[in-house]
Chains A and B, each alone.
Chain A
């Protein structure tokens, strides 16, 4: 069965600090997809990144970067020089392949990030 663990329930940092959010997943599939979503106080989930299981390249997008390591089943998310607007709950999610269609997302419990001014 698929499972996503985000061990950090809450993190507080001071503005401009770097912060890494951990995500560990479990799956028996060899083909799967990993995602990060952000849920700001307004409530709407915002897609940040998708990675498939065959692409272990790290990715950087502005202040955001992601480190995908299949050997440790981890897909960690780092925010560099954090800002107050980064305060949100961040969810890591896993989607396994189910034939040609259909997706069954499993979300982690989320990490609440508070960036203090």
Chain B
């Protein structure tokens, strides 16, 4: 069974640009969550989607948004990039919403110049 797939693996952007990251969950998983991992702040929850609806949102500014498609694939968008957005962005999927073990992808490493 294929794992969680995130694309791209690496991305370099400049301040002010926007970026879209993609996540394909494990087949059959309907819940997708996004996390930001930085050395200073650790792992922080961004948001969770289930059946195309955002179910939960962490404490991030509105520049961070996401969506989920009918096939459960999810995208995360960050607009007006700032230097502090440089991080590893992790996507995780689970079979259903509600405290299930999450299966993580390898992440997208975003660097802002």
Contacts and interface: CB of A to CB of B under 8 A. Distances in A.
A109 B42 contact: yes
Interface of A: 33, 35, 37, 42-47, 50, 52, 91, 95, 97-98, 100-110
Given A45-B104, A104-B58, A33 B99 contact: yes
A103 B90 CA distance: 16
B99 A101 contact: no
> Which of A33, A47, A91 is most buried by chain B, counting CB atoms within 10 A of its CB?
A47
Interface in B41-72: 42-45, 48, 50, 55-56, 58
B88 interface: yes
Contacts of B44: 107
B43 A102 contact: no
B21 interface: no
Given A104-B56, A110-B42, A44 B104 contact: yes
Across chains A and B, which 10 residue pairs bring their CB atoms closest together, nearest first? A102-B55, A45-B104, A107-B43, A101-B97, A33-B99, A102-B56, A47-B101, A104-B56, A95-B99, A109-B42
